[in-house]
Amino acid sequence: MTLDKSFVPIEVIFSSRAHAAICAETMEHHPLETGGILLGHFHQHRWQVIEAIDPGLGARCTSTTFEYDHAYVNHLARKLASQYRLPLRLIGLWHRHPNSFDNFSNVDNITNRRFAAMSIHGALSCLVNLDPDFRLTAYHVPKDLSYQHLPAVVGDSLIDSSLFTPICAADISTKRLSDQNLVLDLQQLFIRLPRAHSALQFRLASALDPLLQQLDVQKRWLYGLRACGHCLQLALVEQRGPCRELWELALCPRGLITALRDDGLRLNGTQFSDHLLEVNHGC
Ligand SMILES: [Zn+2]
């Protein structure tokens, strides 16, 4: 496999907090193995590690192995990731090895391969040894596991500030929250239908134009659209109610608009237009 040079990092930068978390976790479990996951970004050809998460209250550490408490790690990763304006991503992992053993075991290779498969950038995998002083060795892990040793540095000022900005009270507004809720609602609706990624057929786009204008002026529904060539998928989210509907709008062989709801209800263009304007009498 040929590596895309744009994805090959030149170094790893740890925030002082992430590095401290690794040191503290190593000390706490000495001489047993321990480890954790790393959150941050691949940015400007560098792994930028902003948070390091311990393996959890239910982790099992022995002198040669350790197992994560997955529920704890997943929970904390989600919480920490959302505390930054640019939500952190899972970028890799670290673990301690006994004595001076600083190669990856077969089990490590399997784990590293799994992490590397999660991102086009691959992953970061770090080993910690105490022989006798703390020694961290960082490796870039491409998908083919051709490990590359990377220099590692520590310092908050080295991390791109755009990645390191925590959210603040000014980021919270009910408008923003309702926008986020709408995005989630639309995602949950659209997931129910397969999508054909192709531009809308010109004939269909022209026929639907009056309906789309009507959607823009009515007050009951917020909506999302997905173009699928021969049909337009339309997700409707009631603004002040619980109704959620998913439609596919297409042209019948006679060139007339037909609207099919995902529960099987079929309406012609006029009926669908009336449906959009109905005052809410329940879903
Ligand atoms: Zn290992």
pLDDT tens, 36-90? 999 999 999 999 999 999 999 888 888 888 888 999 999 999 999 999 989 999 9
Q: How far is the CA of 159 from the centre of ligand 1 (A)?
A: 28
Report how far ligand 1's centroid is from the alpha carbon of 111 (Å). 9
Q: Are 154 and 46 in the same domain?
A: yes
Q: What is the pLDDT of residue 66?
A: 84
User: Whole domain around residue 246: which residue ranges?
Assistant: 174-277
Centroid of ligand 1 to alpha carbon of 128 (angstroms): 10
**Quick one: tokens of 87?**
């939500």
Residue 264 to residue 283: CA distance in whole angstroms: 15
Same domain, residue pair 232 and 107 = no
Dist. CA 150–CA 126, nearest whole Å: 10
Q: What are phi and psi of 208, to 5 degrees?
A: -85, -10
Extract the tokens encoding 134: 């703390």
Interval between CA 96 and ligand 1 midpoint (Å): 7
* Separation CA 258–CA 254 (nearest Å): 10
Distance 7 CA to ligand 1 centre (A): 25
What does the alpha-carbon distance between residue 274 and residue 143 come to, in Å, rounded to a whole number?
53
Measured in Å, residue 2 CA sits from the centre of ligand 1 at 26
Same-domain status, 17 and 142? yes
Q: Per the structure, how many domains does the chain have?
A: 2
Residue 163 and residue 120 share a domain: yes
Give yes or no: residues 119 and 216 share one domain: no
Question: CA torsion sign, 37 to 42 to 45 to 46?
Answer: negative
Q: What is the pLDDT of residue 266?
A: 95
With respect to residue 283, please indicate whether it lies within any of the assigned structural domains: no
Do residues 127 and 36 lie in contact, with contact meaning Cβ atoms separated by under 8 Å? no
CB 246 within 8 A of CB 232: no
Residue spans of the chain under pLDDT 70:
1-6, 279-283
Distance 80 CA to ligand 1 centre (A): 25
**What distance in angstroms lies between residue 272's CA and the mean position of ligand 1's atoms?**
61
* Dist. CA 214–CA 219, nearest whole Å: 10
Ligand 1 centroid from CA 42, angstroms: 23
Looking at the fold, whether 79 and 161 belong to one and the same domain comes out as: yes
- The answer to whether 143 and 176 have CB atoms below 8 angstroms apart is no
Structure tokens at 201: 């057929």
Do 54 and 183 fall into the same domain? no
DSSP letter for 49, please: E
User: Residue 225 has what pLDDT?
Assistant: 93
